[in-house]
Structure formats: C-alpha cells, structure tokens
Amino acid sequence: MALKILRSDCYNGNHDIYELEMLQHIQQKSQLSINPGRNHVIQLLNHFRHEEANGNHVCLVFPVLGHHLGLQAAKFEQERIPVAVMKEVARQLLEGLDFLHRECGIIHTGRPSP
C-alpha cells in the first residue's frame, strides 16, 4: 500500500482541496460503472486522520502502482519506449480521463458535479 499525507491546512484552512471527497466520488462511480476507463483511475483503498502537534492531517491509502515511464524506458533498447507501448499508455490515459469527465463530472483541477 501507498500512503499520501495531506498537510493539515488542506482541510479547514486557506487551501481546502477536497481531494478525499473527489476520490470517494470516483470510487462510488467506479463501482456502478461499466466504462473501461474506470480501470485506469487510481482507487482509494482507505483513509484516516492523524493528529499531531502540527495539526490534523488527512491520510489517503492507495494501492502501489508501477514505476513511472522514465524508469520503464530503461528496460528498452536505447531507453526508448516503443511506439506500440506508448499508444497503449495513451489509450489507457484517455479512457481514464473519459471516465472522470463523463461519469464523475471531474475535469483536471475540477470538482465533482452536484
């Protein structure tokens, strides 16, 4: 599992970002959807709050994903990812974005539609 800890001022402060609520919205829509893009969007496994001297932090738990493309490139000749592989990566990325937009009402840096 991977853990993301949000600064205490991300909620109830000057920088409310609502990341937890968006991830929960995506999770709910994913469970009801048949859109293939739902398989290409990270899923929140769990969340909790951690209180300490610097404040109350929201902690998000995710599955561990693969390596970034830069590290993947090292596996190929001359560190160049083949076009066919990149086409597949692009297809999955676009399917994920389509799911977020059409079914979740989310755009990049946006919030869920009511």
Pairing mode, if any, of strands 46-52 and 55-62? antiparallel
If DSSP states are collapsed to H, E and C, what string results for the chain? CEEEECCHHHCCCCCCCCHHHHHHHHHHHHHHCCCHHHHHCCCCCEEEEEEECCEEEEEEEECCCCCCHHHHHCCCHHHCCCHHHHHHHHHHHHHHHHHHHHCCCCCCCCCCCC
Instruction: Note down the domain range covering 55.
Output: 2-102
**Cα–Cα distance for residue pair 86/80, rounded to 1 Å:** 10
Residue 33 in domain: yes
What's the pTM?
0.80
Among 64, 62, 82, residue whose Cα is nearest residue 72:
82
Q: How do residues 50-104 score in pLDDT, each as one tens digit?
A: 988 878 888 999 999 888 888 888 888 888 999 999 999 999 999 999 999 999 9
Residue 63 in domain: yes
Q: How do residues 19-55 score in pLDDT, each as one tens digit?
A: 889 999 999 999 999 999 999 999 999 999 998 887 8
Backbone angles phi, psi at 63, to 5 degrees: -70, 155
Residue 110 in domain: no
Domain count, the chain: 1
